[in-house]
Amino acid sequence: MNEEFSFKDILTIINGDITASIILRFTNVIPTVNEDGSFTVKPNKWTLHSKIILNPKDTINLNERIETTIGRAIINKLLKIDPFGDYFKYDNNPIFINKFINEATSHLLKGTITTEQMIKLFNNTIWLTRFSDMVLPSLSKNILVTPKSTVELKKKLTEENKKMIENGDVAYVDKVEKPVLNDIIKNIKNDPSFMLYEVGKPSIGNNLKQSIGTFSPIYNSAKGKFDIPDGNLMTGHDPSLYDGIANMNISGTYARNIATQQGGSSTKTIYNSMSNIKAGPVDSDCGTKKYKEVYLTKNNVFLYIWNYMVEGNRLILLTPDNNEQYLNKICYFRSALYCMYENRFEICNKCAGEVPYKTGLLSIGLLCSRLPFQMTKASLKQFHDSTINLTSINPFEYMKIDK
């Protein structure tokens, strides 16, 4: 039985082959079959969220003593140690798989890890997703009840902004809503269940806030102004606001449906029309004189790594080693947009960049489907987000006038 495990047994499991039966041994409850065929369920002492202390000698990619969980140790074993050995250090935070795949891909393009290692990462990721429902924690009471400090803060801010709330001023979002949400996160971020809100947006900005924090202002068409609810999903709302809340929940549904339909149709059209486009032969150069003008910053430079720039009469390959010297400058990139290669179904090496050749994925036309796919995904996300976002600006920064 799992409650009889010693810490040494857990280390042996973590450092061995992780199988489905291993993960199932750390479920929250242990079912046993009785003689009459009925089941008895009791809590498990050791679960994926049980805290443990690891020392550097306990796992090969750790260089300091840490408090972690069994689940995080297993994730590190599957996604980091199994594919890459000690190359990637132990991560004691929730690992967002897509983000880590992007990080690993950048190392693949540098040539510091191999294609075979990336394939191992993908295989382990696909296998791990089978247990996603079990790996994520269930809701706990801590994330279903507004923390006491948040209750006091909300009461204080509501009183301070009483006039603004009565007038339906959407500045409520900055004055009350955001501070309340931040206080909630500060109180519950260490609870394992908080992971349910961390897995992606708009969860933190919408679901958590509306559950135990505040509701965003709701436009009241009859009054021509916003109503500001004082409750949340756990405390309930004033019945006079029910119509407005119902309208808020279905607002824009038709427009979002149309946007989703158009996005899906565009994805199929682009996929079909671009699927035959490939990267041309190694070192091929169409000689085009056209280029894409880009102001490089630390926020967009990752999009252009391994692409060629025009510098005088030379072509310079932007790499992880030389990109910093081009930051905050206007650079001129060769691009598939302006390629004039002799084969109309191919993009020359210099316009395509080096990524297709480093990865061996030469059918680059298939990547064009990502744009309409992202648009479709964005419209789908809108169904779940009714948050009001405010941007504060100082007009004197944009207009040449005196105060």
**Residue 267: per-residue pLDDT:** 72
**Residue 242: per-residue pLDDT:** 77
**Residue 1: per-residue pLDDT:** 43
Cα–Cα distance measured from residue 135 to residue 137, given in angstroms and rounded to the nearest whole number: 6
Mean pLDDT calculated for residue range 152-161: 93
The boundaries of the domain holding residue 210 are: 141-251
**Residue 388: per-residue pLDDT:** 62
pTM of the model as a whole:
0.59
45 lies in a domain?
yes
Instruction: Clarify whether residues 147 and 118 are in a common domain.
Output: no
Instruction: Clarify whether residues 52 and 111 are in a common domain.
Output: yes
Highest mean pLDDT among 259-263, 271-275, 304-308: 304-308
Instruction: Clarify whether residues 112 and 51 are in a common domain.
Output: yes
The tally of domains found in the chain comes to: 3
pLDDT above 90 covers a percentage of the chain that reads: 36
268 lies in a domain?
no
Cα–Cα distance measured from residue 15 to residue 9, given in angstroms and rounded to the nearest whole number: 10
Confidence of residue 221 (pLDDT cuts 50, 70, 90): confident
Compute φ and ψ for 176, nearest 5 degrees. Answer: -125, -55
Token pair 């709302």 is at which residue? 237
Mean pLDDT calculated for residue range 356-366: 86
Instruction: Clarify whether residues 100 and 150 are in a common domain.
Output: no
Instruction: Clarify whether residues 11 and 130 are in a common domain.
Output: yes
Instruction: Clarify whether residues 245 and 298 are in a common domain.
Output: no
pLDDT above 70 covers a percentage of the chain that reads: 79
Confidence of residue 395 (pLDDT cuts 50, 70, 90): low
- Residue pLDDT, tens place only, 36-62: 766 666 677 788 888 899 999 899 999
Cα–Cα distance measured from residue 265 to residue 277, given in angstroms and rounded to the nearest whole number: 20
pLDDT beyond 90 at 319: yes
**Residue 252: per-residue pLDDT:** 56
Residues in the chain: 403
**Residue 117: per-residue pLDDT:** 94
**Residue 129: per-residue pLDDT:** 81
Give the residue from 251, 286, 320 where a domain finishes: 251
Instruction: Clarify whether residues 117 and 146 are in a common domain.
Output: no
34: left (phi over 0), alpha (psi -120 to 50) or beta: beta
CB 227 within 8 A of CB 217: yes
